[in-house]
Structure 1
């Protein structure tokens, strides 16, 4: 419930800002990818300005996500190694428990529980 409220508090204002930017920036602009000949039609794209704004936000989100994922790789590797170790320790504990039950079943003296 709290996550939904926080999402609404963040996403609704963000959506309003993006809609206002889209309406305010409808004029067509040309993005020239050739710095030496900006009038080159092959390496230029004409679109409404808000399209370039949205593309910049999307590219930024993707790059940020990729960098974060790569930076957290060492933590994921450590978590995998510790998970494997935990499974090994659990298997060893289960073997010891089984062995203790076998010994107790043979009628050897048991230590009374306090």
Structure 2
């Protein structure tokens, strides 16, 4: 079902992308010199669709890097909680092994330690 829904969504997007590329084949001048109108220092002709696709790709990369950097605190917190969980599991296992089987606390008997083989 998910495969069908992906196809249902991605197929029209792919068609639009192909139509965009076919309709915008004419070359445009890409210039990185905003001060020179006549002969810019660095310019290159390229198809408009390539420029659009490159801009989208750069946007995806910049957005992904920004998102990754923004989640740094969450990743750090998760690592700290994982270390604490491992420490507490080890402590619980050590305490289970130190209590003799069948010992009672108050009126209830403690369960026997569970072996993890």
Structure 2 runs not aligned, ≥5 long? 111-117
Matched, 1:16 2:15: yes
CA distance in 2, matches of 1:77, 1:90: 20
SS in 1 for 2:101: helix
Structure 2 residue aligned with 1:104, among 86, 101, 106? 101
Deviation readout 1:24-43 (Å, 9 max, x if unpaired) = 00001001111121343640
CA distance in 1, matches of 2:71, 2:104: 53
More helix per residue: 1
If asked which structure has higher relative contact order (CA below 8 Å, sep 6+), I would say: 1
Query: What RMSD over aligned residues (CA atoms) do the two structures have, in Å?
Result: 2.1
The structural deviation recorded for 1:45 is: 1.3
* CA distance 1:28–1:87, shift in 2 (3 Å): same
Structure 1 runs not aligned, ≥5 long? none
SS in 1 for 2:39: coil
The structural deviation recorded for 1:52 is: 0.1
CA contact (8 A) 1:32 1:39 kept: no
SS in 2 for 1:29: strand
CA distance in 2, matches of 1:98, 1:17: 65
* CA distance 1:109–1:78, shift in 2 (3 Å): closer
Matched, 1:77 2:79: no
Equivalenced residues, count: 108
